Amino acid sequence: MVLPVVFFAVFFAWPVVSIVERGLRPDGRWELGRFGETLSRPEILDVLWFTLWQALASTALTLLVALPGAYVFARFDFPGKRVLRAVVTVPFVLPTVMVGTAFLALVGRRGLLDDWWGLRLDTGVWAILLAHVFFNYAVVVRTVGGLWSQLDPRQEEAARVLGASRWRAWRTVTLPALGPSVAAAALMVFLFTASSFGIVQILGGPAYSTLETEIYRQTADRLQLSTAAVLTMVQFVAVGAILTVHARVVRRRETALRLVPAERTARRPQGAGQWALLGGVLLSVALLILAPLGVLVERSLATSDGYGLDYYRALGQVDEGGTFLVPLTDTIVNSLQYALAATGIAVVIGGLAAAALTRRAGRLVRGFDALLMLPLGVSAVTVGFGFLITLDEPPLDLRASWILVPLAQALVGVPFVVRTMLPVLRAVDERLREAAAVLGASPWRAWREVDLPLVRRALLIAAGFAFAVSLGEFGATVFIARPDNPTLPVAVARLLGRPGELNYGQAMALSTILMVVCAVSLLLLERLRSDRTSGEF
Amino acid sequence: MNIRKAAAAALVAALGVTTLAACGTDDVREAAGETDQPMPKTVTLVSHDSFNASKEVLAEFTKQTGLTVKVLKSGDAGEAVNKEILTKGSPQGDVFFGVDNTLLSRALDNGIFVPYEAQGLDRIPAELQLDKEQHRVTPIDSGDICVNYDKQYFADKKLAPPQTFDDLAKPAYKDLLVTENPERSSPGLGFLLGTAAKYGDEGWQDYWKKLKANGVKTVDSWELAYNQEFSGSAGGKKAKGDRPLVVSYASSPPVEVLYAEPQPKVAPTGVSTGTCFRQTEFAGLLNGAKNPEGGKKLIDFLISKKFQDDMPLQMFVNPVTKDATLPELFTKHGVVIEKPETMAPKKIADNRDQWIQQWTSLVLK
């Protein structure tokens, strides 16, 4: 309990509080009047309104598209299911910069659809919404589908035997069981889309701005720290509220449902209706998820004279322009090293936090649980700038140290670790530990002999998630990465900011490499998925 | 209790790792004040993402002084300056390069620089030295933000390309211009300031109303405007860009030639010489620098002939020293802007935010 609390205090609370204080207490006096003044400005109200409605619309659209997908993944067996499940999760861990780029390459100017049918969404609300669906599809499939696959179909069958219509059986038996997990997934999607940064920045153009991009603009472009601080507080309160509701919903979800192993519930589709549903879902996955990913691959191979590996070859050379002082292939190594370090930190911190949360119940602990989730919803720019102004005194002048990057990434990884570990740890029978203690094992040894074997798998899955999240993390990294060792997503963003065909091609090639790395690590996770993990991702 | 023990063990392990990591890198030790050398071996230059210098030139500096230059790119121009303001007194490096005349007052008022009179300052025209009393900053390069036109388009249409701000608002050039959001992009801001310098504090809004009525398009960044929307650049041609006028730099046509395969005899784009705003970039010694002596040497080096000659093809800007030689590419394909619009940094600082806000509600809403 102590270590996670210290970690969060030093690397999250302190930087964020400092930067907010800088904005609201410029000369040693709190100027709380700034709240009213900021929140009554029409352009700020516009931003809040746009943030809210695009997040609601994105959430609704995601549920609409992904719920049938969740059903299909839960109930049907079909060849390639495992690979596909890994593939639909890839977008979730890709850096938003790449998601934005992929969508521009698909629906933007000279995008694929433009080349074929002259269809051009360009930038705007629709592009943002579609990218959000692409991004969050996996959240719904994993959260809802995970539970759905373990619901005992015999309960519904029993209702049918007793004379209920198919619809009524589903409504009275399955829906109440699923409800909380749908709500939990919807809240998560809402949280991610409301705090989306890269996608809005790239696909929104100058006319669209959400809370997150506005905080960035007010801090980085205008140095209006007071406005940024007010917005950060608004975001904080909103995220806190969402997380509180989420925790409630999840607790309700932990009510005793009779769960069965997923293998027993999935079967091959039967009849035209089910095949049609499966086909429909596969088509939507192909259009929404495979197409943008495919475009990245296509662009990385399309050189000015036909298809080839030129861009990949170019990655290995040091570019004379000097934007990067190392060959770009080094960014892959950098990224992997950072990700390993970040995973280590996240697993230690998250594991300890999860262990602490299983042992104790009570309000304080639940508060801590929600606290651990906060980094998911707090603007990376706030954290990044907070790092700059707080971690600058010895012994903690980490601004020039490589360790800062994995630390920032671990902040985002910890919530995933906690979410994956907690359900499993809670399922370990307390009496086993007691028995070990009675037999004279030290608490440490009891943990090692009893808990560890049971949670090893979950730990691996958690580590995998932390790894993938760290690979794709962009927001905080971009503030602190240095030109002599950029990470992969940062390198992509910089390449895209430079003119010339070669830079664009190299950005696409790097994106493709990252995508493959993510997909492979997720596929390995798929193999590890134990049927006991009803983890939330 | 077990958890606490485990936590303690993990904490020790984690701290061990951090300390080990810290021992491995010199900069951390320097930062912790544990330097045992009298003079650090590196000098850190903080800059924006567009900074570039050739390896040979940086090696030359090391040869002259024994110091290695570490470059820390810290975001776009505005973001980089703002980060320095936030970390005032405990900067990320020794010298900052890349504060331009539009941001200069903000940087000076916040006191992020300390005075230093560079060696060789007499080779730089006095009108570029905007902090002559104190020398907190030294001019390094200058450039002009101007409208570029696609020569091919206007030749095909048998239409003379626009040359002045007034021309851009004429019906003949309806729906042809793409510009950048002044809040996000320095050429966008330069163009807005150019119109404010030309038409005055009151008049520029009327001018922009005319431009809007004439179909000006705004995008967020120079990259999008130049490489996606503009029909005259290599990138824009590929992207089927359909705007033959773009707000860019006077140095863009030579760059267009440089990156073309094979290189054309004449540049495919031209510059509307009556639409320009002069931008000057400065460097300064950071307040609280860990290696101020090295920093001073680096500033001297930035205005040395060696660096000034190298700069144009690295960052596509003009040198500021009288003795620098322009590369042939610039003399052949570039234009010299005789009378660019200019504005005093103080006036920019006083009005900038308000103007941007007025511009946003006028043009984007």
Q: Cβ atoms within 10 A of the Cβ of B203, count? A: 12
Mean pLDDT of B77-98: 90
Q: Whole-angstrom Cα distance, residue B104 to residue B100?
A: 6
Distance from the Cα of residue A432 to its chain's centroid:
35
Is the Cβ pair A322, B27 closer than 8 Å? no
Is the Cβ pair A1, B4 closer than 8 Å? yes
Model pLDDT, residue B14: 43
Please report where in the chains the tokens 């191979």 appear, as a residue: A301
Chain B CB contacts of A394 under 8 Å are 31-33
Rounded to a whole number, what is the distance in Å from the CA of B223 to chain A's nearest CA?
6
Chain A CB contacts of B71 under 8 Å are 325, 483
Mean pLDDT of B355-363: 91
CA nearest B44: which of A400, A408, A269, A101? A400
Task: Search chain A and give the residue with CA nearest B85.
Answer: A223
A115: confidence class by pLDDT, cuts 50, 70, 90: low
Is the Cβ pair A206, B11 closer than 8 Å? no
Who wins on pLDDT, A96 or B80?
Answer: B80
Contact residues for B237 (Cβ-Cβ < 8 A; gap 6+): B231
A327: confidence class by pLDDT, cuts 50, 70, 90: confident
Contact residues for B40 (Cβ-Cβ < 8 A; gap 6+): B30, B67, B290, B291, B294
Q: Whole-angstrom Cα distance, residue A139 to residue B260?
A: 45
- Indicate the DSSP class of residue A319: P
Of the residues A217, A397, A484, the best mutation for testing chain B's interface (the one with the most B CB atoms within 10 Å of its CB) is: A397
Under 8 Å between Cβ of B97 and B283: yes
Comparing CB atoms, the residue among B10, B73, B90 nearest residue A352 is B10
* Beta strands B177-180; B245-249: pairing state: parallel
Tell me whether residue A518 is exposed, middle or buried, using C-beta atoms within 10 angstroms of its C-beta: 0 to 12, 13 to 18, 19 or more: buried
Is the Cβ pair A394, B53 closer than 8 Å? no
Model pLDDT, residue B207: 97
Comparing CB atoms, the residue among A221, A352, A494 nearest residue B79 is A221
Q: What is the mean pLDDT of chain A?
A: 80
Q: Whole-angstrom Cα distance, residue A385 to residue A480?
A: 9
Comparing CB atoms, the residue among A3, A109, A398 nearest residue B239 is A109
Residues in chain A: 537
CA-derived radius of gyration, chain B? 23
- B354 interfaces chain A, CB cutoff of 8 Å: no
Q: Whole-angstrom Cα distance, residue B355 to residue B208?
A: 12
Task: Search chain B and give the residue with CA nearest A388.
Answer: B87
- B4 interfaces chain A, CB cutoff of 8 Å: yes
Q: Whole-angstrom Cα distance, residue A388 to residue A390?
A: 6
Q: Cβ atoms within 10 A of the Cβ of A454, count? A: 17
CA–CA distances in Å: residue A152 to residues A68, A163, A298, B114:
18, 18, 43, 73
Task: Search chain B and give the residue with CA nearest A350.
Answer: B7
- B32 interfaces chain A, CB cutoff of 8 Å: yes
- B243 interfaces chain A, CB cutoff of 8 Å: no
Is the Cβ pair B6, A447 closer than 8 Å? yes
- Residue type for position A274: Q
- Residue type for position A324: F
Q: What are phi and psi of B96, to 5 degrees?
A: -110, 130
Contact residues for B156 (Cβ-Cβ < 8 A; gap 6+): none
Who wins on pLDDT, A19 or B18?
Answer: A19
- B251 interfaces chain A, CB cutoff of 8 Å: no
CA nearest B250: which of B148, B130, B107? B148
Chain A CB contacts of B22 under 8 Å are 401
Q: Whole-angstrom Cα distance, residue A467 to residue A410?
A: 9
- B152 interfaces chain A, CB cutoff of 8 Å: no
Q: pLDDT tens, B193-247? A: 999 999 998 899 999 999 999 999 998 888 788 988 899 988 788 777 889 999 9
Lowest-pLDDT range of B154-168, B259-273, B291-305: B259-273
C-alpha angle B150-B154-B159 in degrees, rounded to nearest 5:
150
Rounded to a whole number, what is the distance in Å from the CA of A292 to chain B's nearest CA?
18
A311: confidence class by pLDDT, cuts 50, 70, 90: confident
Mean pLDDT of B127-145: 94
Q: Over 80: is that where the pLDDT of A21 sits?
A: yes
CA-derived radius of gyration, chain A? 24
Under 8 Å between Cβ of B235 and B132: no
Under 8 Å between Cβ of A401 and A11: no
Comparing CB atoms, the residue among B3, B106, B184 nearest residue A206 is B184
Model pLDDT, residue B210: 96
- B240 interfaces chain A, CB cutoff of 8 Å: yes
Inter-chain contacts counted by CB atoms under 8 A, chains A and B: 151
Is the Cβ pair A394, B3 closer than 8 Å? no
Model pLDDT, residue B280: 95
Is the Cβ pair A217, B183 closer than 8 Å? yes
Q: Cβ atoms within 10 A of the Cβ of A246, count? A: 21
Mean pLDDT of A249-265: 62
Who wins on pLDDT, B185 or A369?
Answer: B185
The DSSP line for A234-298 is HHHHHHHHHHHHHHHHHHHHTS---B--GGGT-B---HHHHHHHHHHHHHHHIIIIIHHHHHHHH
Q: Over 50: is that where the pLDDT of A94 sits?
A: yes
Q: Over 70: is that where the pLDDT of B153 sits?
A: yes
Q: Whole-angstrom Cα distance, residue A176 to residue A383?
A: 39
The torsion angle over the Cα atoms of residues B10, B16, B19 and B23, rounded to 10 degrees, is -150
Lowest-pLDDT range of A201-215, A249-263, B118-132, B287-301: A249-263
Is the Cβ pair A220, B78 closer than 8 Å? yes
Identify the three-state secondary structure at position A158. helix
The fraction of chain B above a pLDDT of 70, given in percent, is 89
Of the residues A109, A226, A345, A496, the best mutation for testing chain B's interface (the one with the most B CB atoms within 10 Å of its CB) is: A109
Chain B CB contacts of A114 under 8 Å are 240
Rounded to a whole number, what is the distance in Å from the CA of B35 to chain A's nearest CA?
13
Of the spans A408-412, A531-535, B27-31, which averages the highest pLDDT?
A: A408-412
A119: confidence class by pLDDT, cuts 50, 70, 90: low
Query: Is this prediction's pTM over 0.95?
Result: no
- Residue type for position B334: G
Q: Whole-angstrom Cα distance, residue B60 to residue B68?
A: 10
C-alpha angle A295-A297-A301 in degrees, rounded to nearest 5:
115
Q: Which helix (H) or strand (E) holds A374?
A: helix A363-377
Rounded to a whole number, what is the distance in Å from the CA of B49 to chain A's nearest CA?
8
Who wins on pLDDT, A202 or B98?
Answer: B98
Under 8 Å between Cβ of B244 and B173: no
CA nearest B137: which of B295, B318, B361, B360? B295
Q: Whole-angstrom Cα distance, residue B298 to residue B104?
A: 20
The fraction of chain A above a pLDDT of 90, given in percent, is 9
Tell me whether residue B258 is exposed, middle or buried, using C-beta atoms within 10 angstroms of its C-beta: 0 to 12, 13 to 18, 19 or more: middle
Q: Cβ atoms within 10 A of the Cβ of A283, count? A: 10
CA nearest B101: which of B305, B340, B354? B340
A42: confidence class by pLDDT, cuts 50, 70, 90: confident
Chain A CB contacts of B49 under 8 Å are 323, 494, 497
Is the Cβ pair A1, B7 closer than 8 Å? yes
Lowest-pLDDT range of A262-271, A505-514, B55-64: A262-271
Chain A CB contacts of B3 under 8 Å are 1, 352, 355-356, 359, 443
Chain B CB contacts of A348 under 8 Å are 10, 13-14
Q: Whole-angstrom Cα distance, residue A40 to residue A32?
A: 14
Q: Over 80: is that where the pLDDT of A323 sits?
A: no
Task: Search chain B and give the residue with CA nearest A446.
Answer: B2
Chain A CB contacts of B243 under 8 Å are none
Please report where in the chains the tokens 């830079």 appear, as a residue: A503
Chain A CB contacts of B85 under 8 Å are 223
The DSSP line for A85-151 is HHHHHHHHHS-HHHHHHHHHHHHSTT-HHHHHH-----SSHHHHHHHHHHHHHHHHHHHHHHHHTTB
Tell me whether residue B14 is exposed, middle or buried, using C-beta atoms within 10 angstroms of its C-beta: 0 to 12, 13 to 18, 19 or more: middle
Chain B CB contacts of A18 under 8 Å are none
Q: Over 80: is that where the pLDDT of A322 sits?
A: no
Q: pLDDT tens, A45-93? A: 999 999 999 999 999 999 999 999 998 888 888 888 888 888 888 888 7
Q: What are phi and psi of B148, to 5 degrees?
A: -105, 145
C-alpha angle A211-A217-A223 in degrees, rounded to nearest 5:
125
- Partnered with residue B180 across adjacent β-strands are B219
Q: Whole-angstrom Cα distance, residue B321 to residue B306?
A: 11
